[in-house]
A and B are shown apart, each in its own frame.
Chain A
Amino acid sequence: MEQRATRIALVAWSTLVVLFLWIPLALIMLYAFNKSNVQSWPIPAFTTHWFRAAWTSEVRTSLWLSVRVGLIATGIALVLGSAAAFGVDRFRFFGREAVSFLLVLPIALPGIVTGIALNSAFVAGNINLSLWTIVVGHATFCVVIVYNNVLARLRRSSPSLIEASQDLGADGWQTFRFVIWPVLSTALVAGGLLAFALSFDEVIVTTFTAGSQNTIPLLILGYIRLGQQLPVVNVIAFAMIVLTALPVLLAQRLMRDTGVLRRTAGNVTEAVESAQITAV
């Protein structure tokens, strides 16, 4: 056990680090109520006016684009990511290590490399930048998120569950419906939520695959660079912090409660594993 002084020092340090993480987030939520166009401190007066004023057609168009891209990319990621996770977990084959290494490349390599690689491929192939080119860019790292979530779950489940189900006379569909799905469903939902959150927030790859279209992050980036519409940016910031909190908390709960495989020891590790994956 640690000495008293060490413990006090650890508590103090931890408190400071958590405050360091949270004070900026609290501040931006305050700025959303800033009456002035000038974003200085202290905030001179408060208003809720900007919440209505922020609902411009530009914001609506970008929001709609971001939602569509996020949903399509997440859908692709769920199918391809879980298929890859099953393949890598259940089969031993030549080059398996290489495959699992390749699949995490999009999150291990700097985002700008992925971005300009896709961009130059689109230019070389005479492909016009559209909704679909953004989707392709996002899908590369969304697949990795789902893949990692599903793989973490499969590694904790026993293949003998499936064998037992087949021995008891279940066909493939029944095995999937009554054995695999209950084990996997929460990991899929969690992976999907995180993939969507990531896609919704992505800037670096998107700049190279969007052309003249604006997703929500690209719109904000433009506003901040030009120093325009900052009250609108503040309101979007407020909304985005609140809205990302919900799916993340939900995903967190889902990864903890594994139903069939309720095991206390593995839970924290799985949560850590699934949480530390990103592309940004």
Chain B
Amino acid sequence: MATSLDSAQGLSRRPPGRPARAARLRVSGLFWRHRWAKALLLLAPPLLAFVLVYLASLVALFVSSFWTVNPLTTEIQHVWNVDNYTQLWNSSVFRVVTLRTVGIAAAVTLTDAILAFPLGYFMARVAGGRSRAFIFVAVLLPLWSSYLIRVYIWRLILDDKGVLNWTLQKVGLPAANIGYSNWAVWLIFAYVWLPFMILPVYGALERIPESYVEASRDLGAGGFTTFRRVVLPLALPGVVAGSIFTFSLTLGDYVTPLLAGGASSQFIGNVVYDQIGSGDVPSAAAFAVVPLAVMGIYLLIARKLGAFEAL
């Protein structure tokens, strides 16, 4: 950056036109010579806001998970202990809820990967420009349309008197009656987060150069071998990147189980929500650390698999 000094000084030596411009040039020159000042000016406001509001709240949450609530006065007692965590560890209810949440999140991720991969493959390697653009918009619009509305419509579809049972009856099949159950929760999550899987999978498949596939064929590999040994390994980071979204979003949700689940569909989010409602912030905070820890482990594995390059 040493040479740049000359050009900045060259600018300020120039006879000033209007005074405003001269002042602006001086400021520009100042920032050019002191690049750190510009960096500070750009980065300080967003980072300060971020650290003071977001990170401070996260830390406050973590700290409050080591406090307890007085059962009589429902006031928070600022006494350090790990009671909330031991209670969590020993309670079978919490264990069941955690297993259910993580299990359904994994099932949703798997379902979305199976639904998305052939579509992404079709978009990236088979479809013409026009149908690719059409599918792209057809995937993007549901992604951005209201989450709540998309959950609500499935409530109507899966209802006993909904479209699903009506259709099944028309074609002579028995009624499904999966409304307000874990099946409904799984199906709705898979529906709602599907676009988040399609886009990165498509992105990863699209980046595979055609010459790699041709080289594989020239070396005598059949279509399936080429797919398994060349395309699939290169597309895997895209799948993992998509799975971060499907997994994390399912893990932290409480609205779908609340609206579309049954009596035994409680997620971590629902328990946390209820605890907050009853004023027990410390217990809620302790339980909220569980999805945080699960997500942390998941992100570490994802980074090993190269998902962050595919994001």
Contacts and interface: CB of A to CB of B under 8 A. Distances in A.
Given A112-B252, A272-B202, A203 B147 contact: yes
Contacts of A241: 145-146, 149
Interface stretch (A47-55, A67-75, A163-171): A163-171
Contact of A197 (B58, B144, B253, B269): B144
B54 A106 contact: yes
Interface in B263-293: 268-269, 272-273, 276, 281, 284-285, 288, 291-292
A237 B146 contact: yes
Q: Which of A81, A163, A241, A271 has the most CB of B within 10 A?
A: A241
Nearest to A207: B273
Interface residues of B, number: 105
Interface string A74-118: 000001110110111011010000010011011011111110111
A20 B125 CA distance: 22
Contacts of B245: 276, 278
Contacts of A207: 273
A261 interface: no
A81 B50 CA distance: 11
B110 interface: no
Nearest to A86: B42
B17 to A, nearest CB: 10
13 contacts: A18-B119, A27-B157, A42-B166, A83-B43, A91-B38, A111-B252, A112-B273, A171-B25, A172-B28, A221-B255, A240-B145, A276-B199, A276-B311
Contacts of B143: 275, 278
Interface residues of A, number: 98
Contacts of B56: 121
B252 A110 contact: yes
A157 interface: no
Contacts of A258: none
Given A112-B252, A220-B148, A248 B141 contact: yes
Given A10-B126, A203-B255, A31 B156 contact: yes
A208 interface: yes
Contacts of A9: 118
A214 interface: no
A14 B118 contact: yes
A40 B269 contact: no
